[in-house]
Amino acid sequence: MKDFAGKTAVITGGASGIGRAMGALFLDKGMNVVLADIEHKALDETVAALNSGSGRCVGVVTDVSKAEDVQHLADAAVAEFGGIHIACNNAGVFAGGLLWEESVADFGWQLDVNVWGVIHGIRTFVPIMAKQDSDCHIINTASMAALTAMPYSGIYHMTKHAVLGLSESLYHELAFHVPNVKVSVLCPEMINTGIGTSERNRPSAYSRDGDIVESEARTMVSEAIAESVAVGIGPEVMAQRVFDGIVAERFYLLSEEAWRETAHTRLDDIRLARNPTFAPPVDL
């Protein structure tokens, strides 16, 4: 895609972080933007802030774990702007700890948002784009966690590996059947976002008695992430990475820093059939 003016982007997880930064950049490029988020107040505030530019921005409260919510989001975007040209399946959550200590709800919540949110996006947005006589692009937000495996965040790694594998298969299927639609997978490193405080959005269905297990490992990883994201890369860098990837039709949108070296070590482990190496990125 080279022409952005007047086209429409839909972004989940759009009230903050990378989603908000993508919305701001797309608006700056003359696009209309539909932001989706589960946080009603934060979404309203973001839409109001971004609407000061030349484009038009609207917000739709959306729980991406629910297929009907994502369909409602798409319907609202088409009704408001006539089509969808870029869809960013960006919403994501995190909870850490030891895998055998984490609750079924911890697994369910992260799978429902991080994986099912992308699944619902693909199933909803691709058919709409396939009917449009224009270039379109899907962005699925994974993580450098999709290419690595660190302790105390196994559920998150699992979900992001799933997003990467799903996106790779989608790349081939689109090339064979819907060539006007391209796909990229964004794999951020440590970004200055609210991912470390995802629990603020944790629905009651995943927060019943026994669903949140306090442990030393959970506390440790929460504190470590809070420290890392506080000095992390600005989300606007990821927005530019996405924009450049769309223009270049580049699939893998990866870190160029320490996380890439950790990913290379893991790939060498697989290539050489050796046991997994503990090789955390030096900027973790």
Residue 66 has pLDDT above 80, yes or no: yes
State the average pLDDT for the chain. Answer: 95
Instruction: Give residue 188's identity as a one-letter amino acid code.
Output: P
Residue 82 has pLDDT above 80, yes or no: yes
CA distance 179 to 46: 34
Say how far residue 263 (Cα) sits from the centre of its chain: 19
Burial string for 212-242 (b: 16+ CB within 10 Å, else e) reads beeeebbeebbeebeebbeebbebbbbbebb
Residue 120 has pLDDT above 60, yes or no: yes
Residue 186 has pLDDT above 70, yes or no: yes
Query: What percent of the chain shows pLDDT beyond 70?
Result: 99
Structure tokens at 129: 């784009």
Contacts of 63 (CB under 8 A, 6+ apart): 38, 69, 203
The CA-atom distances, in angstroms, between 197 and each of 172, 222, 224, 229 are 35, 8, 12, 11
pLDDT the model gives residue 54: 66
- Note the residue count of the chain: 284
pLDDT digits (tens, 9 = 90+) for 207-224: 999 999 999 999 999 999
pLDDT bracket for residue 194 (50, 70, 90): confident
Burial class (CB in 10 A: 0-12, 13-18, 19+), 99: middle
pLDDT bracket for residue 229 (50, 70, 90): confident
Structure tokens at 251: 């699939």
Residue 50 has pLDDT above 70, yes or no: yes
Instruction: Please name the fold of domain 8-258.
Output: Rossmann fold (3.40.50)
18-37 mean pLDDT? 97
Residue 107 has pLDDT above 70, yes or no: yes
Residue 263 has pLDDT above 90, yes or no: yes
pLDDT digits (tens, 9 = 90+) for 88-101: 999 999 999 999 99
188-213 mean pLDDT? 92
pLDDT the model gives residue 2: 93
Q: Which residues are catalytic?
A: 156
Residue 284 has pLDDT above 60, yes or no: no
CA distance 106 to 102: 6
Burial string for 128-138 (b: 16+ CB within 10 Å, else e) reads bbeeeeebbbb
Whether the Cβ atoms of residue 137 and residue 26 lie closer than 8 Å to each other: no
34-49 mean pLDDT? 97
Residue 81 has pLDDT above 50, yes or no: yes
Structure tokens at 170: 């989608």
pLDDT the model gives residue 53: 64
